[in-house]
Amino acid sequence: MTDPINNYWQLKLEAVKQRLEANTFDVYIADSAEKAKEIALSTIIPPLGAKSVSWGGSVSFVSTGLFHALKDNPDFEVMDTFDTSLPAEQKFELRRRSLMADLFITGTNAITEDGRLVNLDMIGNRVAAIMWGPKHVLLIVGRNKICGNIEDAMYRVKNYAAPVNCMKLDKKTPCAKKGFCHDCSSPDRICNYWTITEKSFQQGRIKIILVNEDLGF
């Protein structure tokens, strides 16, 4: 076998896809971030008839190129809820309006091998939109987000994803200095709302592209 690592991940992604589909998510597999963008633009988004689009500050979404492809398309109103040039109140208002968007796109902090999503939010706008509000939700998930079970997923979020996010955002938290969670009481704490999404209500409202590459934190 010339590429056992790729073969391993293809098998793993196919297994996770089946578990997610059994949990009422619609699931696609992409070989790369570029392919994920193509699947979203050619297969997933056109039948939705979405006009308004918002997002949850996802590195995975941006790194596929999909965010800018939609933002540059005049057929879509893209609410840029993370536009750093906007005052904080305006960003909050956009995040409130995002709950009424036709389509919300984001990543997930972790996904378990039995097909559940595990997320931890600072404000809650991202996990709220995954659960309720936008007509459609699209998650872009790199293979690095797959964890064996809920406990592993929560460990990953607290001791990898959150510290790296704090480092990226220049948060004044102990994890940004030490690289692991101190269950802090810092005003900059980004860990406030846990969610475990077991299934998609309604069937297929949440669509997931599993990507055979590492994406995001």
CB 130 within 8 A of CB 205: no
In the bound state with ligand SF4, the residue whose beta carbon lies nearer, of 163 and 216, is 163
> Could you tell me where the DSSP H helices lie in the chain?
4-22, 33-39, 59-63, 66-71, 88-98, 125-131, 150-156, 162-168, 174-178
Query: 12 near 6, Cβ under 8 Å?
Result: no
Min. distance of Cβ 185 from ligand SF4 in angstroms?
A: 8
Judged by beta carbon, residue 56 or residue 163, the one nearer ligand SF4 is: 163
Return d(Cα 44, Cα 83) in angstroms, integer. Answer: 25
Query: Looking at beta carbons only, is 94 or 162 nearer to ligand SF4?
Result: 162
Min CB(146)–ligand SF4 separation in Å: 21
Q: Three-state SS across 123-182?
A: CCHHHHHHHCCCCEEEEEEEHHHEECCHHHHHHHHHHHHHHHHHHHCCCCCHHHHHCCCC
Least separation in angstroms between residue 33's CB and ligand SF4 is 26
Q: What are phi and psi of 108, to 5 degrees?
A: -140, 150
Whichever of 137 and 181 has its CB closer to ligand SF4, that residue is 181
- Please report how close the Cβ of residue 175 comes to ligand SF4 at its closest, in angstroms: 3
For the chain, the C-alpha Rg in angstroms (whole number) is 17
Q: Which is nearer to ligand SF4, 89 or 183 (CB)?
A: 183
Question: Between 9 and 160, whose beta carbon lies closer to ligand SF4?
Answer: 160
CB 171, min distance to ligand SF4, A: 7
Which residues of this protein are in contact with ligand SF4, per CB under 6 A?
A: 158, 162-163, 166, 173-175, 181-184, 186, 189-191
Closest separation between CB of residue 169 and ligand SF4, Å?
10
The single-letter DSSP state of residue 210 is: E
57-80 in b/e form (b: 16+ CB < 10 A) is bbebbbbbbbbebbeeeeebebbe
